[in-house]
Amino acid sequence: MLIYGAMITTHRYIKEKSNLRRLSESSSKEALHDFLIADDATSGESLPPLDAALAKKLLERIENIPLFAHAYAFHLNFRLGEYSPWDLLDFAKENDLAGIMININYGGEVGLGAMEYAEHRLFGERARNMGLRIHLENSSTTPPNMVRATKIAHLMEAESVRSYPRYEGKVSELIAKTVRDLKKTTELDPEGKLHYFLEQHEDLKSHELVEIIEKVGNPRLSLLFDFGNMVNANETPDDALTIMAPYVREVHIKDIDIITDHRGGWEQHGCKSGTGDINMPLMMFRLLLLGDDEPQIRAFGLEEEIGYFAPAFRFSDEGVDPFIPFREASESKTDSNSTLEDRLAHEREDAVEQVAFIRDILAQIHSLATNIINE
């Protein structure tokens, strides 16, 4: 994997960490600590001891991290341009990534959902020939959608299927319906060829997702942790990861601005990685360390979402069992100040830059961890 690029020289979030400029004046442990907590002193309260054993673990996991291209980084190109799933394979290969994460509905008439079964097999074969893994995504847990997604995954020899509920009703009803849906995954995949992922997707809280996982009881069902989706459920990224950590096996990497709405809830506004409210170095650090002997995270999806918007769904004054309204899937907006052609080109550039940005974070952590071992 191509990880060791230039050290970070841009992006507000990392550039302003003055302690990194005084690396020679502090110990390597202090330097890594300061890099991870940035200006939020409370973030460092839960850090494990930054010793040589932890540093060795970090090195091994960074050097083998499974970074995936995510189709949403090209959302507008799929929706309004001529981008296809085949293009995503090429992007992943060109950027030396481990595979792709793609929703079966992306690409419209040229998307995976519109392909014939023979094309699904060809797509899977091409991915394998390119040395790429496939993780499919599906924006519903309803039985018809899960049957369809599982069928496509089997034809492509994909590794997994992600889903999330989009029901209307009280939270207790959403949980019950989602448990009912996901209990069927053992019937859909009786040979256990697939992993299934339930994503935190803006309306359910972390402990509610854990409740679903435990009630379903399928060992091949786990959680997908998205860097920003918990804020719409009135949770912080740090708190959500702490609750979900034992069950997280897949990740969506992105940055967001967190905006308080008129009722005191939090809206999610997608932004360029490194310019928003997510402490991305700390998130990567915590996720890399999950798992004792083996890495717990099977894939890190690079999901740049500039222009994405999702409203607040949960509130501090909502009561015990609040009602969640039905909603369509959230989307990114186009920029009215530029032409469509320019916006699509910028989106493709943003995807490339996110790959470099995340690799720069990994390179910095790798360098500081190496210093701890050698100190």
CA 300/CA 313 separation, integer angstroms: 26
> Mean pLDDT lowest for which of 23-27, 30-34, 89-93, 181-185?
23-27
The reported pLDDT for the residue numbered 230 is 96
Tell the residue number behind the tokens 């302003």, with chain if given.
Answer: 16
- 357-372 average pLDDT score: 96
The reported pLDDT for the residue numbered 199 is 96
Residue 42 pLDDT greater than 60, yes or no: no
> Mean pLDDT lowest for which of 237-241, 336-340, 367-371?
336-340
CA 325/CA 313 separation, integer angstroms: 9
CA 106/CA 72 separation, integer angstroms: 9
Region for 106 from its dihedrals, namely left if φ exceeds 0, alpha if ψ lies in -120 to 50, beta otherwise: beta
Domains in the chain (CATH in brackets) are: 65-342 (3.20.20.150)
Residue 331 pLDDT greater than 90, yes or no: no
Bridge partners (DSSP) of residue 99 are 68, 133
The reported pLDDT for the residue numbered 12 is 38
> What secondary structure letter does DSSP report for 167?
-
> What secondary structure letter does DSSP report for 113?
G
Under a CB-based contact definition with an 8 Å cutoff, are residues 175 and 139 in contact?
A: no
What SS3 class is residue 335?
coil
Bridge partners (DSSP) of residue 266 are 260
CA 334/CA 332 separation, integer angstroms: 7
The reported pLDDT for the residue numbered 40 is 62
The reported pLDDT for the residue numbered 352 is 98
Residue 300 pLDDT greater than 70, yes or no: yes
Token digits of residue 250: 């897949």
End-to-end CA distance of the chain: 26
How many residues does the structure list for the chain? 375
Q: How confident is the model at residue 188 (pLDDT cuts 50, 70, 90)?
A: very high
Residue 210 pLDDT greater than 90, yes or no: yes
The reported pLDDT for the residue numbered 20 is 42
> If you compute the radius of gyration of the chain from its CA atoms, what whole number of angstroms results?
20
- 158-171 average pLDDT score: 95
Angle, in degrees to the nearest 10, between helices 237-244 and 206-216: 20
